[in-house]
Chain A
Amino acid sequence: MQDASFLRMIKQDPAMPQTIAQIKKRYEAIEKEQDEKGNLYYFTIRMRQDDRLIGFAKIEWIDWSNGGGFIKLGIGAPQDRRQGFGSETLRLMLRFTFGELNLFRLAGVTPEFNTAGLSLFKKFGFVEEVRRRQAVSFQLKRWDMIHLGLLKDEWAAHAENSLRGQAQDVSHTTD
């Protein structure tokens, strides 16, 4: 939480270094919200080999009646990026979104200078839907905020392994 440019890619509040006590409080608030509101699913990302924490991923602002939600994910340390962990995380999160939460639509919002994030989303079939001009301030310039969206059918077409291949479907329906 000390890296201001990482923070600006995922949030637009003024950047502020946090103490451990503050972060603990923030995490407790996340757990409370998950329990009480039912429209947030929050995950940490850990390395399989040594359980090291490398980031977070969440589906939030879920609107159940319309079947929509928003995804946000971040890998904290620059040295942990560009190694495919974001792709693997997003792949898992998309299966969770469409195969477990059964949402119809998933959206992501990120500033245009987050080029790595934008190419990750697009790699998985997200479509750029909205460009809010000059909505974000960063390093003395104004940037556009990009909204992307992925519909369930689009994900199903893009997914390398369809759900049919992964789960044992006892009823043998053909869709």
Chain B
Amino acid sequence: MANDLFTGMKVRLTRSEPDVVSKAYALWGRDSEYRRYLHERALHLWSQKKYEEWLKEDSDQQNAKQWMFDIHTLADDRLIGYVLLFYQSIAQGDAWVGIGLGAREYWGKGYGTDAMALILYYAFEELNLHRVSLGVLAYNPRAIRAYEKAGFVVEGAERRVANKDGVRYDAWIMGILREEWLARYMKERNQNGG
């Protein structure tokens, strides 16, 4: 049972200093496979300095339409990725979640799942949202499976959105409602003995 909003089983959510984060982003940013998983827009490369300026600007905005967290491993406090919630209009009670583990050696080992559990708890119990949405590209089946396991329901697909290396891929849209999340959370909590 999470008494601490930001600590999971494998990871914790935090905000690290821009100089540290920008170094990681610049490194991960050069991995085009990772970048293509995050979105379909054409990739441009940023210097560490540019990332650092962007991170500082972002944290200065009082009414930035997003909540952004860095993901650190509990075992050795290593920065491995980010997770965030962003929205069009908060009054609607719907936000989009985005997650990226730039440190590839942590893929497929439950770190992303743990971070997603934390961000969903934050979304529903701290922000009191009604639902959380996400978009995932069809060429990222590992993520699609992970999101389904986390309780997201497939709500459709925007057809042939991404044009990569001459092939067009759909963007799947998934969503989880508060009542769906709560039922799963309570079930898991009871299974784990509260």
Q: Which of A65, A105, A107, A133 contacts B155 (CB 8 A)?
A: A133
Taking CB atoms, residues of chain B closer than 8 Å to A133 are 131, 153, 155, 175, 177
| Contact between chains at B175 and A132 (CB < 8 Å) | yes
Task: List 9 A-B residue pairs with CB atoms under 8 Å apart, sorted by A's residue number.
Answer: A13-B91, A63-B41, A66-B161, A66-B162, A129-B156, A130-B157, A130-B158, A134-B130, A151-B160
**Are B91 and A12 neighbours in the complex by a CB distance under 8 Å?**
yes
When the two chains form their complex, are residues A105 and B159 in contact, meaning their CB atoms are under 8 A apart? yes
B40 close to A63 (CB less than 8 A): yes
Which among B40, B153, B177 is the interface contact of A66 at CB below 8 angstroms? Answer: B40
Closest residue of chain B to A135 (Cβ to Cβ) is B94
A50 to chain B, nearest CB (A): 36
Instruction: Judge whether A12 and B89 touch: CB under 8 Å.
Output: yes
In chain A between 1 and 36, which residues have their CB closer than 8 angstroms to a CB of chain B?
A: 11-14
| Chain A contact residue count (CB 8 A cutoff) | 28
Contact of A42 with B by CB under 8 A? no
In the complex, which of the residues A14, A130, A134 contacts B173, with contact meaning CB atoms closer than 8 Å?
A: A130
Residues of A in contact with B (beta carbons under 8 Å apart): 11-14, 63-68, 104-105, 107, 127-137, 142, 147, 149, 151
State which of B42, B92, B177 has its C-beta within 8 Å of the C-beta of A137. B92
Query: Which residue of chain B is the closest to A107 with respect to CB atoms?
Result: B158
Interface centre among A64, A66, A127, A151 (most CB of B within 10 A): A66
Knowing A12-B92, A135-B94, A137-B93, the reply to whether A129 touches B131 (Cβ < 8 A) is: no
B172 → chain A, closest Cβ, in Å?
A: 9
Q: B133 within 8 Å of A by Cβ? A: yes
Please indicate the chain B residues that have their CB under 8 angstroms from the CB of A142 in the complex.
130
Q: In the bound complex, how far is the Cα of B179 from the Cα of A142, in angstroms? A: 14
In the complex, chain A residues whose CB is within 8 Å of the CB of B158: 107, 129-130, 147, 149
Which residues in window 108-151 of B have CB below 8 A to A?
A: 130-131, 133
B91 contacts which chain A residues (CB < 8 A)?
A: 12-14, 137
Inside 8 A of B168's CB, which chain A residues have their CB? 104
Contact A12 B163 (CB under 8 A): no
- Whether A67 and B92, one on each chain, are in contact in the complex, defined by CB atoms closer than 8 angstroms, is no
B88 CB-CB contact with A under 8 Å: yes
CB-defined contacts of A105 to chain B, threshold 8 Å: 159-161
**Which A residue's beta carbon lies closest to that of B133?**
A132
* With A12-B92, A63-B40 as contacts: A135 and B159 at CB distance below 8 Å: no
CA distance A65 to B92 in the complex (A): 31
Shortest CB–CB separation between residue A32 and chain B, in angstroms? 19
